[in-house]
Amino acid sequence: MKNGNISLLDKESIEIYEEIGDQHLLTSIDTPLRPDAFDLSDDEKIAKIQDNFKTIMETLGLDLSDDSLKGTPYRVAKMYVKEIFSGLDPKNKPKVALFDNKYQYNEMLIEKNILLQSTCEHHFLPIYGKAHVAYIANGNVIGLSKINRLVQHYAKRPQVQERLSIQIMEELKRVLNTEDVAVYIDAKHMCVSSRGIKDVSSSTVTSSFGGKFKEASYKNEFLSAVHHDVSY
């Protein structure tokens, strides 16, 4: 339907869109990107988003001549491109160097309580929580901070938590050349707490297990460590 120059969604489309958002569905393991996703430079993207966000603010009735608001379209555009969605661009993926496992440490290594901040791709609202990652070395190891950086890289894009868990696991499997990787994420979604059901108490837990971590003994050891609180 059309109302002047404004396109209106039909009832069936609205119901489908609402269902996908409320049911937290994902359509692919890879983040959906167009073939021309990186044809524009960062500066060109910022300029385009700035113009579009200005239109959104004006449509909402905000007065952009106000000193507090006039810079908001630029600030939001720069934040999108340079910060919270910077993980979309492959050039921003952390460089990961491998080191020989000279100590022959062949037990699981767990990096707990990695601060995670992402954005729900259904409503563009924040996701925040913690990720816990483990792997069993297969001849090589990586620096601990690189695990954190890889988590942050994949979090810095519009996401669905299930996809985020899988993307982190698959990247670590590729980098470490091992199937023995586990990822556990516990996060709160602002699309649940600030809209819709408005439940501020619930959190979402997702996990991905590869190789030995699919076996009960390894899985239980990992989960026990994740849930064990230590005071420092």
The active-site residue out of 50, 120, 167, 171 is 120
The active-site residue out of 50, 152, 159, 161 is 161
Give dist(CA 56, CA 85) in Å, integer.
19
* DSSP code per residue over 118-181: EEETTT--EEEEEEEEEEE-SSEEE-HHHHHHHHHHHHSSEE-HHHHHHHHHHHHHHHHT-S-E
Give dist(CA 148, CA 151) in Å, integer.
5
Is 123 designated active site? Answer: yes
The active-site residue out of 50, 153, 171, 189 is 189
The active-site residue out of 24, 111, 117, 123 is 123
Token output for 4: 């002047």
The active-site residue out of 122, 132, 152, 167 is 122
Give the sign of the dihedral formed by CA 140, CA 173, CA 206, CA 214: negative
CA dihedral 58, 126, 28, 86 (to 10 degrees): 80
Token output for 119: 């954005």
Report the number of secondary-structure helices (H) and strands (E) in the chain: 7, 9
The active-site residue out of 152, 167, 171, 191 is 191
CB 189 within 8 A of CB 212: no
Is 121 designated active site? Answer: yes
Instruction: Name the CA radius of gyration of the chain, rounded.
Output: 21
Determine the residue type at 71.
G
| Residues forming beta bridges with residue 101, ordered by sequence position | none
State the catalytic residues: 120-123, 161, 189, 191
